[in-house]
Amino acid sequence: MFTSNPFAELTVFLPSLMMQVYIVLMILAVAAGTLFDMLHKSSARYFARQWKKSKVSATRRLSGADTASLAVRTLLKEVATSGEFCNPKRRISHLLMFYGFLTYLVTTIVMVFGYPPESPPAPAVLPVLWNIGALMIVIGGYWFFFLIRVDVAKEGHSPFRLVRADLFIVSLLASVTLALTWEIVQTAGNLTLTKIVFGLYIFFTTLLFVSVPWSKFAHMFYKPAAAFQKRVEEANGSSNLPRPADVNSIGR
């Protein structure tokens, strides 16, 4: 079950081209949603204004090598290792979801476009990685949703109390949970139930990708940009933020 391409079986009730078109539409939806969010919140204008202000206020000129080094450090800390999270549990949860989502998304695209039903079967490693990525999202996501969220862990609210900020995590978990459920039901051979679960899977997946302007999805693009901007300002001397205290000097 976990070593066969689940999308190859869709031709029983859905042409393979439909899934390919759907993925392209979802990619366009994310791009359009992010662009709309940037225009609505004037994010691009804000970053451009901050960049210009930083150059004017700079006390040190950065070379191309300096800027590249700052970009690499941002990718390694804020993107690759989520170093901005002080809470180790939240950091691990975030990394599970981040790398799980990348694995799940990439393998989905490869299996749908690279191994349609009329082509040779996909290598077993692809559906295995697809399932591993989905399980990483499920583990990290439900851990965060029920135990780590601030309003649950710190404020004592019910984990089932939802606000708009929860739209991303709820739609993501619903989509991936239904993907795994669909895979299991499809293996059982119940065509009617397979169609129902697959329809729910597509509904929540669509909600995940079209709700970019109203969820935290776009933050994945803003956070690295903001972190890089902060590093540049600290390096060229234009930052107006207080420098972190030297813990070794406290108490002297």
The 10s digit of each residue's pLDDT in 9-46 is 898 899 889 999 999 999 999 999 888 877 777 666 76
Q: pTM of the full predicted structure?
A: 0.84
DSSP string, 16-76: HHHHHHHHHHHHHHHHHHHHHHHHHTTHHHHHHHHHHHHHHH-SSPPPHHHHHHHHHHHII
* Summary count for the chain: helices (H), strands (E): 9, 0
Predicted pLDDT at 244: 52
Q: What is the DSSP letter of 245?
A: P
The two three-digit tokens of residue 152, written as one number:
């649950």
Predicted pLDDT at 247: 42
For 5, other C-beta atoms within 10 Å of its C-beta total 23
> What does residue 156 show for φ and ψ, rounded to 5 degrees?
75, 15
Give residue limits of the domains in the chain.
Answer: 6-39+98-218
Predicted pLDDT at 243: 56
170-208 pLDDT, tens digit per residue, is 999 999 999 999 999 998 888 999 999 999 999 999 999
- The residues, ordered by sequence, that sit 6+ positions from 8 with a Cβ below 8 Å of its Cβ are 111, 115, 116, 117, 121, 122
Q: Could you give the CA distance from residue 174 to residue 203 in angstroms, rounded to a whole number? A: 10
- What's the full length of the chain, in residues? 252
Indicate if the pLDDT at residue 114 is higher than 90. yes
The two three-digit tokens of residue 164, written as one number:
């708009």
Mean pLDDT, the chain, rounded, equals 86
| Mean pLDDT lowest among 60-74, 206-220, 238-252 | 238-252
| Mean pLDDT lowest among 65-69, 105-109, 183-187, 239-243 | 239-243
What average pLDDT does this structure show over 38-56? 73
Nearest alpha-carbon partner for 200 in 180, 183, 175, 169:
175
